[in-house]
Amino acid sequence: MTNCSSQLPHPNSAPIDTMSNLTESAILDCLKDINDPEIGRPLSELGMLKRAAANDDGSINVDIDLPTHAYPGRERITDAIQSAISAKLPEAGATSVNFTATVQGVDSGGKIGLQVKNVIAVGSGKGGVGKSTTAASLAYGLKHFGAKVGLMDADVYGPSIPHLVGAKGEPNIEERQTSQGHTISRIQPIEHDGLKLMSIGFMIQEDQAVIWRGPMLHKLLTQFLQDTDWGELDYLIIDLPPGTGDVSLTLSQLLGLAGAVVVCTPQKVALLDAVKAVSMFNQVKIPILGIIENMSGDIFGRGGAKEAADGLSIPFLGEVPSDADIRIKGDDGQIAALFETDNPAREHLLHVVENVAIQIAKSIMETPRMPTLEII
């Protein structure tokens, strides 16, 4: 829950006897055409305009429920509401806008009993571009804004999430009785820095190489999703392995994903990587949320991923600079530290997080979610 109020005294503060005009319906009517600055449709139609009330002194309270905690347009909404009330209800006093957030999502894992509003896969067309760093940053960033977040490592060949976030431990397995008297095993995710984590890295030695055959891979990922006590989450971020479409196919069979984020580096050839990743996600019917340029501004330049996004008519979700500190913090298991106020990467990362969250809210509010893929 996020609260943020602001007040502007109205120059013609109203006398008490004109208050009778300030009914809830009159106030709501005067706000009905205000567009959400991010989604571009009226707040009233989007269900974001929750309540409006006039107090005895003529001051007004408006309650807005945002579709995500990571919402960048609070001030713009406040300004638009205050301007509309001053212009159309001159008898009103100061207006304060109170924000809450209820993450929008469509039953991402309903089919397998997962209570997660939005599952986000992070992938790329090639290895080493910063998928895992981006996945961990998205998880920390969404949590920073106030959402309930899980982070699942689907890279069973080279799990890196435990190392990146500095988490250790072995997940507990709890046996439970169902109402029909059956015993079921539930895996408890590792709780770390307020995130729920699951990775094969918690179950094997760091230097242990594991060979997974296709069916085992499918089974393991199903267990990670279905048999893990994720609880109720707003977002579950899934870090994909490089290259293969196997994992994405399994995910799309099990879940109705909110979408995939494609991570690209800035080189001109990023376009080829992006095309590869986008075509892979298209094949397995996972919607694309957009492209992030990672390691922007290094020897490979800047802007290739944006060009790729434009060329493919896919949203560009922002750029994260190439920064030695991002690498060092990742190597030290300190991704969380990138969100400390003085860290130069923080603003870039938060901006990307907001764009991802808004993209999801937009896709939910504009179009119905793609159905879960039937097993081929």
Residue 108 binding target from ligand ATP, Mg ion, none, CB below 5 to 8 Å by type:
none
**CA nearest neighbour of 86 among 20, 6, 14:** 14
Residue 323 binding target from ligand ATP, Mg ion, none, CB below 5 to 8 Å by type:
ligand ATP
Q: 230 with 223: CB under 8 angstroms?
A: no
The residues binding Mg ion (CB under 5 A) are 131-132, 160
- C-alpha 304/C-alpha 310 separation (Å) is 10
Whose Cβ is closer to ligand ATP: residue 160's or residue 199's? 160
Residue 96 binding target from ligand ATP, Mg ion, none, CB below 5 to 8 Å by type:
none
Q: 220 with 154: CB under 8 angstroms?
A: no
Whose Cβ is closer to ligand ATP: residue 35's or residue 244's? 244
320 binds ligand ATP, rule: CB under 6 A: yes
Query: Minimum distance between the CB of residue 127 and ligand ATP, rounded to whole angstroms?
Result: 3
Question: Which residue of 37, 72, 242, 303 would you call a contact of ligand ATP, by CB under 6 A?
Answer: 242
CA dihedral 214→217→222→225, nearest 10 degrees, is -140
93 binds ligand ATP, rule: CB under 6 A: no
130 binds ligand ATP, rule: CB under 6 A: yes
Question: Which residue of 129, 142, 236, 291 would you call a contact of ligand ATP, by CB under 6 A?
Answer: 129
Q: 78 with 6: CB under 8 angstroms?
A: yes
Residue 150 binding target from Mg ion, ligand ATP, none, CB below 5 to 8 Å by type:
none
Site for ligand ATP in 257-276 (CB under 6 A): none
- C-alpha 185/C-alpha 229 separation (Å) is 10
Query: Minimum distance between the CB of residue 165 and Mg ion, rounded to whole angstroms?
Result: 13
Please state whether 143 falls in left (phi above 0), alpha (psi between -120 and 50) or beta.
alpha
158 binds ligand ATP, rule: CB under 6 A: yes
160 binds ligand ATP, rule: CB under 6 A: yes
Site string for ligand ATP, 131-150 (x = CB under 6 A): xxx-----------------
3-state secondary structure 107-118: CCEHHHCECEEE
Residue 39 binding target from ligand ATP, Mg ion, none, CB below 5 to 8 Å by type:
none
Helix, coil or strand: residue 362: helix
Q: Judging by DSSP bridges, how do beta strands 259-264 and 288-296 pair with one another? A: parallel
344 binds ligand ATP, rule: CB under 6 A: no
Query: Minimum distance between the CB of residue 71 and ligand ATP, rounded to whole angstroms?
Result: 25
User: What are the structure tokens assigned to 232, written together?
Assistant: 């109720």
Residue 294 binding target from Mg ion, ligand ATP, none, CB below 5 to 8 Å by type:
ligand ATP
Q: 64 has which bridge partners?
A: 49, 99
128 binds ligand ATP, rule: CB under 6 A: yes
Whose Cβ is closer to Mg ion: residue 146's or residue 158's? 158
**CA nearest neighbour of 125 among 282, 325, 7, 360:** 282
Number of H helices, E strands in the chain: 10, 14
Stretch that binds ligand ATP, among 15-23, 72-80, 228-236, 319-327 (CB under 6 A): 319-327
301 binds ligand ATP, rule: CB under 6 A: no
* Number of alpha carbons in the 13 Å side-chain half-sphere of residue 287: 23
Q: Quick one: how far is CA 294 from the chain centroid?
A: 17
Question: Which residue of 77, 295, 338, 365 would you call a contact of ligand ATP, by CB under 6 A?
Answer: 295
Q: 190 has which bridge partners?
A: 197
161 binds ligand ATP, rule: CB under 6 A: no
Q: Hunting for tokens 């750029």 — which residue is that?
A: 319
Q: How far is CA 193 from CA 83, 111, 116, 150, 161, in A?
A: 41, 29, 19, 11, 13
Question: Which residue of 104, 322, 363, 372 would you call a contact of ligand ATP, by CB under 6 A?
Answer: 322
Q: Which residues bind ligand ATP (CB under 6 A)?
A: 124, 127-133, 155, 158, 160, 242, 294-295, 320, 322-323, 326-327, 330
